[in-house]
A and B are shown apart, each in its own frame.
Chain A
Amino acid sequence: MSSPGLFIVKAGYLDVLAQKDSVIHRLDPRVKLLTTLLFIVTVVSFDKYHLSALLPFGVFPIVLIVLGGLPAGYILNRVLWIWPFAILIGIFNPLLDRQVLLHLGSLDISGGWVSFISIQVRFFLTVSAAFVLVAATGFNTLCLAFNKLGVPSIFVIQLLFLYRYTFVLADEAGRMVRAWQLRTPLRKAMTVNTFTLVLGSLFLRAVARAERIYQAMCCRCFDGTFHPAYRLKWKMADSLFLIACILFLVFFRFMRPVTWLGEFVTGMFS
């Protein structure tokens, strides 16, 4: 299988993980969505030079991975796939912000490097939490949760189909790449000209398929409204989980346990 196809198939393993049965899987998708959103907002709300205060937040995805019985290696691998984007976002910080902020022994560390590392830490925390959310819930159930929390049907439907047809499109792209590979055995990469032609052809195929899918939807009386096939039920355990998560987030956002710990340890040895 070609690399784009393989990547998508591996990404589809998240849906397989969502079929597992665990304490986390049994929670209402709305509570998982809300807590993950709160977690992400809390993590990104810190000042750009904050680093130590972010570290305790690693507990959140780790606890969910352990309680949910999810493969940590697989999730880390998925996060690493998109890590280059986070590097790209912060790559100019060390060049633009050269003011020294920390001294590690004789090593001077500029504010740019601190903010760069802070961006990477935030990236790992938030993206791993998002992957854990999908792996412990399933994308379709998550869309249902979005809908129940008031996101308009039109957006939810777009999201569902975008996800569903990513696999079909990747399959189509994989076939086209394979056809190109078989007829150009001596080349390792496409020329720009070939790439644009393949991309254009893929776009036209995607449009044709979109038309056929729309016809199929209309044949089954689709009128633009999202009708979920399941009903969600909020339980006592969901409320308890939500309260616990809010307490955790508020505590680590407004208190400084790492600073306290540092002061305590320093005090012991001074």
Chain B
Amino acid sequence: MSHHIIQAQGLHFVYPDGTPGLKGVAFRITHGESVALVGANGAGKSTLLLHLNGCLLPTQGSLRVGDLPVTAKTRAAIRRTVGMVFQDSDDQLFMPTVFEDVAFGPMNLGLGPEHTEPLVRQALERVEAWHLKDRPPYRLSVGEKRRVAIASVLAMSPDILVMDEPSSGLDPRSRRELIELLKTFEHTKIIATHDLDLALQSCPRTMILNAGTIQADGPSAAIFSQDDVLLQSRLEKPLLLRACPRCGAKPQF
């Protein structure tokens, strides 16, 4: 079954003002994989993510999610499969209360309130945010907003989870909790991030995007050990792979 497979071939995208976003991206992500998408600012990470559920459509080339090509006609079906967590939670949490926000997706799928309530509860409990259900989203901390944003996607039971900079703006404790949370998800995961330590801990595979093309693709630890590749992509080695600056002890990852 090719249900959760994502395959891109020769993917190009050019913004309306002529700025190239993607230049011939090709990859294949299979069921259950966790893939980190890393790269410098403007490398094309967010552009690629927006293609995965049809928010943007390729100018050239093809992208398939499961058995369906991503087109204007198929994107409604694809959005049931691909859940997207946005970089700025304020963009994603638009309903007046947390409960209604998490219920928004399931209700749009045609479920009634009686079927939606258990789904909302399950999703919020999964991210330990059930106690926030009656709060307005704009009154939450950044960490709480991020948890609720993830719950709002989980409530739709997606097969593939796409996250854009999930750790940005989080304090160290919230970031640590997020990493632990991500490890518990069994979905196919694609995480765009600048946080290479998060990528190393949450994703066995990493793709490096540089100026709209994939510069490297492989096991995360191996990719992050290539200093020249990191340098070319304006990235720095994750702290977990560096020797201790005080005692010189070698990394244990």
Give the B-binding residues of A (Cβ under 8 A). Answer: 12, 15, 19, 138-140, 143, 160-161, 163-165, 167-168, 171, 209, 212-213, 215-223, 225, 227-231
Beta-carbon contact of B100 and A140 below 8 Å: yes
Give the A-binding residues of B (Cβ under 8 A). Answer: 50, 53, 55, 76, 79-80, 83-84, 86, 88, 90-92, 94-97, 99-100, 103-105, 107-109, 113, 116, 120, 134, 136, 138-139, 152-153, 156
Q: In the complex the two chains form, what is the Cα distance from A231 to B88 in whole Å?
A: 31
User: What are 8 inter-chain pairs, A to B, with CB distance below 8 A?
Assistant: A140-B95, A160-B96, A171-B138, A215-B55, A216-B92, A221-B76, A225-B108, A227-B108
Beta-carbon contact of B96 and A12 below 8 Å: no
Beta-carbon contact of B80 and A163 below 8 Å: no
Which B residue sits closest to A215, measured CB to CB? Answer: B55
Q: In the complex the two chains form, what is the Cα distance from A163 to B100 in whole Å?
A: 15
Beta-carbon contact of B91 and A212 below 8 Å: yes
Q: Which residues of A contact B91 (CB under 8 A)?
A: 209, 212-213, 215-216
Q: Tell me if B's interface is mostly helix, strand, loop or mixed.
A: helix
Beta-carbon contact of B100 and A222 below 8 Å: no
Q: In the complex the two chains form, what is the Cα distance from A167 to B137 in whole Å?
A: 10
Beta-carbon contact of B136 and A15 below 8 Å: yes
Q: In the complex the two chains form, what is the Cα distance from A225 to B116 in whole Å?
A: 16
Tell me, rounded to whole Å, the shortest Cβ–Cβ distance linking A8 to chain B: 10
Report the 6 A-B pairs with minimum CB-CB distance, sorted nearest first.
Answer: A227-B107, A140-B96, A220-B105, A229-B103, A221-B108, A212-B91
Q: Tell me if A's interface is mostly helix, strand, loop or mixed.
A: helix
Q: Which residues of A contact B94 (CB under 8 A)?
A: 161, 164-165, 213, 216-217
Which B residue sits closest to A216, measured CB to CB? Answer: B92
Tell me, rounded to whole Å, the shortest Cβ–Cβ distance linking B197 to chain A: 27
Q: In the complex the two chains form, what is the Cα distance from A160 to B97 in whole Å?
A: 11
Tell me, rounded to whole Å, the shortest Cβ–Cβ distance linking B217 to chain A: 26
The contact of B105 among A12, A163, A221, A230, by CB within 8 Å, is A221
Which of B84, B94, B100, B109 has its CB near the most chain A CB atoms (within 10 A)? B94
Given known contacts A12-B138, A231-B113, A218 and B55 CB-to-CB distance under 8 angstroms: yes
Q: Which residues of A contact B138 (CB under 8 A)?
A: 12, 164, 167-168, 171
Tell me, rounded to whole Å, the shortest Cβ–Cβ distance linking A17 to chain B: 13
Beta-carbon contact of A221 and B156 below 8 Å: yes
Which B residue sits closest to A166, measured CB to CB? Answer: B138
Beta-carbon contact of B104 and A220 below 8 Å: yes
Beta-carbon contact of A160 and B95 below 8 Å: yes
Which of A138, A161, A220, A227 has its CB near the most chain B CB atoms (within 10 A)? A220
Q: Which residues of B contact A163 (CB under 8 A)?
A: 96
Count A/B pairs, Cβ under 8 Å.
84
Q: In the complex the two chains form, what is the Cα distance from A259 to B108 in whole Å?
A: 56
Beta-carbon contact of B113 and A212 below 8 Å: no
Beta-carbon contact of A12 and B90 below 8 Å: no
Tell me, rounded to whole Å, the shortest Cβ–Cβ distance linking A185 to chain B: 28
Q: In the complex the two chains form, what is the Cα distance from A121 to B54 in whole Å?
A: 55
Known: A217-B94, A219-B83, A229-B116. 11 other contacts (CB 8 A): A140-B95, A160-B96, A164-B94, A168-B90, A209-B91, A212-B86, A216-B91, A219-B84, A221-B105, A221-B108, A228-B107
Which A residue sits closest to B89, measured CB to CB? Answer: A216
Beta-carbon contact of B55 and A221 below 8 Å: no
Tell me, rounded to whole Å, the shortest Cβ–Cβ distance linking A190 to chain B: 26
Which A residue sits closest to B108, measured CB to CB? Answer: A221
Given known contacts A220-B108, A221-B105, A227-B107, A12 and B113 CB-to-CB distance under 8 angstroms: no
Which of A139, A164, A165, A230 has its CB near the most chain B CB atoms (within 10 A)? A164
Q: In the complex the two chains form, what is the Cα distance from A161 to B91 in whole Å?
A: 12
Beta-carbon contact of A212 and B108 below 8 Å: no
Q: In the complex the two chains form, what is the Cα distance from A209 to B105 in whole Å?
A: 20
Beta-carbon contact of B96 and A221 below 8 Å: no
Tell me, rounded to whole Å, the shortest Cβ–Cβ distance linking B235 to chain A: 26
Beta-carbon contact of A12 and B156 below 8 Å: no
Q: In the complex the two chains form, what is the Cα distance from A165 to B113 in whole Å?
A: 25
Which B residue sits closest to A231, measured CB to CB? Answer: B113
Q: In the complex the two chains form, what is the Cα distance from A220 to B55 in whole Å?
A: 11
Q: In the complex the two chains form, what is the Cα distance from A222 to B90 in whole Å?
A: 17
Q: Which residues of A contact B80 (CB under 8 A)?
A: 221
Beta-carbon contact of A222 and B108 below 8 Å: yes
Which A residue sits closest to B87, measured CB to CB? Answer: A212
Given known contacts A164-B95, A217-B94, A223 and B108 CB-to-CB distance under 8 angstroms: yes
Q: In the complex the two chains form, what is the Cα distance from A220 to B97 in whole Å?
A: 16
Q: In the complex the two chains form, what is the Cα distance from A223 to B84 in whole Å?
A: 17
Q: In the complex the two chains form, what is the Cα distance from A227 to B105 in whole Å?
A: 10
Q: In the complex the two chains form, what is the Cα distance from A238 to B103 in whole Å?
A: 27
Which B residue sits closest to A160, measured CB to CB? Answer: B96
Beta-carbon contact of A219 and B95 below 8 Å: no
Tell me, rounded to whole Å, the shortest Cβ–Cβ distance linking B108 to chain A: 4
Q: In the complex the two chains form, what is the Cα distance from A39 to B199 in whole Å?
A: 59
Q: Which residues of A contact B104 (CB under 8 A)?
A: 217, 220, 222, 227, 229
